[in-house]
Chain A
Amino acid sequence: DIQMTQSPASLSASLGETVTIECRASEDIYNGLAWYQQKPGKSPQLLIYNANSLHTGVPSRFSGSGSGTQYSLKINSLQSEDVASYFCQQYYDYPYTFGAGTKLELK
């Protein structure tokens, strides 16, 4: 199975700041990567697919990039509603696997 290593595990940032979350795959996943946001007590919601495509309705301050084994999620101009956990998921090879998550809090 492909292992997804996500960093950092937790992150504290101020309103308006730009934050970046990283995900590293144990092998090339050819951009088969999604990012999800999960708010406390809620289900995950798709943000980004194919490494850099914004899902319908997701604010443009979210963006994804990367290739090969290294991927990142960037949030520009952090808003209070962005407080959540973020997970990456590879879907290049079954079984699809998730990163351990990044918990984003406000400073």
Chain B
Amino acid sequence: EVQLQQSGPELQRPGASVKLSCKASGYTFTEYYMYWVKQRPKQGLELIGRIDPEDCSTDYVEKFKNKATLTADTSSNTAYMQLSSLTSEDTATYFCARGPYEQLYMDAWGQGASVTVSS
């Protein structure tokens, strides 16, 4: 069974950084993209970027290029996203999601990780 297990909720101060994790199991980690998606409270979904764990190449959506850093550790089948210089605009739930190389949809999702930025 494919599973993406995300790290727990975070409460951070403005200006801080946070690193979220997404541990994959039930499939070959290096054979699928890993996407990261943002969802603000009661809002829609917004793609942040993706990483190819095979070679750690990344594609970021322009507005997140100075906000998010995506990495992957093939020894632990874990993808990471670091968010820097946090503001209230970063308060959201962040999902990791797997996507096949050949078909660019997202066919399995993590449970989401809540990040709250507050002083």
Q: Which of B45, B46, B61, B95 has the most CB of A within 10 A?
A: B45
B26 contacts across to A, CB distance below 8 A? none
Given contacts A32-B104, A101-B45, 18 further A-B contacts (CB under 8 A): A34-B105, A43-B97, A43-B112, A44-B106, A44-B109, A46-B106, A87-B44, A87-B45, A89-B45, A91-B103, A91-B104, A95-B62, A97-B47, A98-B44, A98-B45, A99-B44, A100-B44, A101-B44
Cβ of A50 within 8 Å of any chain B Cβ, yes or no, is yes
Query: When the two chains form their complex, are residues B45 and A55 in contact, meaning their CB atoms are under 8 A apart?
Result: no
Cβ of B110 within 8 Å of any chain A Cβ, yes or no, is yes
Query: When the two chains form their complex, are residues B103 and A49 in contact, meaning their CB atoms are under 8 A apart?
Result: yes
B107 contacts across to A, CB distance below 8 A? 46, 49, 55
Provide 9 A-B residue pairs closer than 8 Å at the C-beta atoms, listed in order of the A residue.
A34-B106, A43-B109, A46-B106, A46-B107, A87-B45, A89-B45, A95-B61, A98-B46, A101-B44
Chain B contacts to A: CB under 8 angstroms: 44-47, 59, 61-62, 95, 97, 103-112
A-B pair count, CB < 8 Å, reads 50
**Size class of the A contact interface (CB-based, 8 Å):** 20 to 34
Cβ of A45 within 8 Å of any chain B Cβ, yes or no, is yes
A100 contacts across to B, CB distance below 8 A? 44
Chain A contacts to B: CB under 8 angstroms: 32, 34, 36, 42-46, 49-50, 55, 87, 89, 91, 94-101
A94 contacts across to B, CB distance below 8 A? 59
